[in-house]
Amino acid sequence: MGSSEVDDDQLLKSFLAEVSEAERDNEVIRILGCFKLNPFEHLKLSFDSSPDEVKKQYRKLSLLVHPDKCKHPKAQEAFAALAKAQQLLLDPQERGYILDQVNAAKEELRAKRKKEFKKDSASKIKSQVDEGKYEEQFERSDEFQKQLIIKVREILTEKEWRRRKMQMRISEEEGRLKKDEEETKEMWKKKREHEEKWEETRDQRVSSWRDFMKTGKKARKGEIKPPKLKTEDPNKSYVQRPVKRA
């Protein structure tokens, strides 16, 4: 372990020893009050913080609100929120997604500022003379950073709302497809049962038909009646029934 890491550990231990219970409680309240979709806020880090800075800040804050050190009833919840924030910011894909929204927020704020320049000729001239330095200086200001945090919240909220709506639609479609599948299965089940029942009564139907042909008697109740015979006259377009001759 290098000397710089030893110094950091000593400073951290010294800091934690001086922290009062009230300060620990306040930190728990701060963490739980953060915007849930922005892990940078949970760790009190700027958007350009490196992964090493994320790990260092997580270690400091997690020790501050650790359930074994902090008596606040929601210390465990705050501790879990910090762990999730670190996990998101150390995941390249998740971190990249959040930074994409940060860049989108910056572009929106820059576009808005350009429109304001059209009304403020003095600022426009100063920006042109300084060749962009004026804008870079403004983007480092606290005012811009506050605007950026608010705009990032708006964009992340909108993205999350769209994601949830899409997920809802997917769930509804999956439910509809599942219902259709169940109805189709039930239909085929009933059809098979009907065919099986029809096949089971085949001998009875054949027997009833033979009895009728032999005796000419009317089928008893419950028996299947045979179809009536018809004859066709080639000279007539309609069906003619047999005529009983005297």
pLDDT range class, residue 29, cuts 50, 70, 90: very high
Neighbouring-strand partners of residue 128? none
User: Average pLDDT, stretch 81-91?
Assistant: 96
CA distance 104 to 148: 10
pLDDT one-digit tens code per residue, 103-132: 999 999 988 888 877 766 555 555 554 555
CA distance 168 to 162: 10
User: Residues 53, 8: contact at Cβ < 8 Å?
Assistant: no
On the question of pLDDT at 95 being above 70, the answer is yes
Confidence at residue 133, expressed as pLDDT on a 0 to 100 scale? 65
CA distance 75 to 21: 12
Query: Whose structure tokens read 């029934």?
Result: 241
User: Average pLDDT, stretch 56-76?
Assistant: 92
User: Average pLDDT, stretch 188-202?
Assistant: 82
Cβ count within 10 A of residue 167: 10
CA neighbor of 175 nearest in space, from 183, 185, 186:
183
Cβ count within 10 A of residue 230: 9
pLDDT range class, residue 206, cuts 50, 70, 90: confident
Query: Whose structure tokens read 């085929």?
Result: 188
Q: Is 139 exposed, middle or buried (CB count within 10 Å of its CB: 0-12, 13-18, 19+)?
A: middle
CA distance 40 to 85: 7
For the chain, the first-to-last Cα distance in angstroms comes to: 125
CATH of domain 14-181: 1.10.287.110
User: Average pLDDT, stretch 202-209?
Assistant: 75
